[in-house]
Amino acid sequence: MQTGTQTGTAIACANIAFIKYWGDRDSLLRLPANGSISMNLAGLTSLTQVAFSESYAQDTLNLNGEITGGPALFRVIQFLDLVRSLAGKNLYAAVESRNNFPTQAGMASSAAAFAALSLAASHALGLNLSEQELSRLARRGSGSACRSIPGGFVEWQPGLDDQDSYARSIAPSGYWDLVDCIAVIQTTPKRTGSSQGHSLAASSPLQSARLADAPRRLDICRKAILARDFEALANICELDSNLMHAVMMTSSPALFYLEPASLEIIKAIPTWRQTGLPVFYTVDAGPNVHLITVKETAAQVIEKLKQYPSVKSVYSAGVGPSAHLESDQS
């Protein structure tokens, strides 16, 4: 290692939102228009290494093995500026980040990446942040990243300002053996990223109704998780996902993330449930469909998904841990 180099390496999971974040109250601070609840996805991770050094003349980003510039680098630089100002240090950094799942295709790659970057960069610069402080920091990189800091089932309280908008665990990873089976329909980056999507949410006449009802949905979802009530969770999550997509489709301009292949699967799920299979769907800002089931029936759900010619691959993930340094076991 070169003299004057400070490094940190961290791992964070992607997460799937049960109650979605869609729309910002403050896009700079990434304060969300509503609270959200998610589950961390074990094994779908971002491994991020940051090295700050006096010998670097600029910040660099290596994403999945490729030197990356443009908007992705710009976003990372803005984030590093924040960490540098917190630490009172003025060193450039080399960031290397690798996801083990498709980047930017509605699989929360930015959540895993910015959660890992928050921990790796703050650790490298000697900041010893609490979970709450890390979650607040990660939020500034990507809103949903604040939910990848704590472990298990996580709720992001929207808060009123930078200080009180962060996520906390509502149940640990071992609390309930849910599995997310992800039907990958498309792996190419989406045309409209989430950040742009959030800024359009308020243009939908349906967004105010979605927001007004959010506390009720959050309450039902939180209680369903704590009671391990699959049916209650299924009903509220499908409603929440549909509400978000209704807002997307009625924004100006309209955003369509669902593809015919996504709908084909979504429409089949009630029938699968009627046959006794515990399963429900939820879809983020992309066409890939997340089917949540329990450990005992995950193999069955995966098999059924593989029957669809439009499904390119299926990933599955149980409930994941908190973001952690590579050297940590947690």
Tell me which of 45, 97, 135, 144 binds ligand DP6, using CB under 6 A. 144
What are the distances in angstroms from CA 28 to CA 79, 161, 258, 296, 328?
Answer: 11, 11, 28, 43, 32
Q: Tokens at residue 33, please?
A: 């228009």
Considering the complex, state which of residue 59 and residue 284 has its C-beta at the smaller distance from ligand DP6: 284
**Could you give the CA distance from residue 245 to residue 249 in angstroms, rounded to a whole number?**
6
Instruction: Label the pairing between strands 279-282 and 313-317.
Output: unpaired
Burial grade of 69 (CB within 10 A; 0-12, 13-18, 19 or more): exposed
Instruction: Give the interface size with ligand DP6 as a residue count (CB under 6 A).
Output: 17
CB of 8 to ligand DP6, least distance (A): 22
- Cβ-contact 44, 14 below 8 angstroms: yes
* Nearest to ligand DP6 of 77, 91 (CB atom): 77
Binds ligand DP6 by CB under 6 A, chosen from 8, 143, 150, 151: 143
CB of 149 to ligand DP6, least distance (A): 13
Angle at 105 between CA 100 and CA 109, to 5 degrees: 45
Task: Find the binding residues for ligand DP6 in span 242-281 (CB under 6 A).
Answer: none
Binding characters for ligand DP6, 153-172, by CB under 6 A (x = yes): --------------------
- Looking at the Cβ atoms of 9 and 142, the one nearer to ligand DP6 is 142
From candidates 9, 103, 104, 142, binder to ligand DP6 by CB under 6 A: 142
d(CA 190, CA 167) in angstroms, rounded, equals: 26
Q: Is residue 198 a contact residue for ligand DP6 (CB under 6 A)?
A: yes
Q: Is 218 in the site for ligand DP6 (CB under 6 A)?
A: no
Residue 20 or 25: the one with the smaller Cβ distance to ligand DP6 is: 20
- CA separation for the pair 280, 230 (Å, rounded): 9
Per the structure block, which two tokens stand in for 141? 């990189």
Is 182 a residue that touches ligand DP6 (CB under 6 A)? no
Part in contact with ligand DP6 (CB under 6 A); list of ranges 103-111, 169-177, 224-232, 260-268: 103-111
For the CB of residue 36, give the shortest distance to ligand DP6 in the complex, in Å. 5
Cα separation, 152 vs 322, in Å, equals: 7
Backbone angles phi, psi at 53, to 5 degrees: -150, 145
Minimum CB separation of residue 258 from ligand DP6 in Å reads 12
Please report how close the Cβ of residue 109 comes to ligand DP6 at its closest, in angstroms.
9
**Is 129 in contact with 61 (CB distance < 8 Å)?**
no
Helices (H), 161-258: 194-201, 207-212, 214-226, 230-249
**Token code pair at residue 236:** 């509220």
The correct pick among 7, 53, 195, 310 for binding ligand DP6 (CB under 6 A) is 195
Residues 280 to 319 in contact with ligand DP6, rule: CB under 6 A: 284-285
Cβ 138 to ligand DP6 shortest distance, Å: 10
The nearer residue to ligand DP6, 30 or 210, going by C-beta atoms, is 30
Please report, as residue ranges, which positions from 19 to 58 form the binding site for ligand DP6 (by CB under 6 A). 20-22, 30, 36
How far is it, in rounded angstroms, from Cα 88 to Cα 123?
14
Sites of contact with ligand DP6 (CB under 6 A): 17, 20-22, 30, 36, 108, 110-111, 142-144, 194-195, 198, 284-285
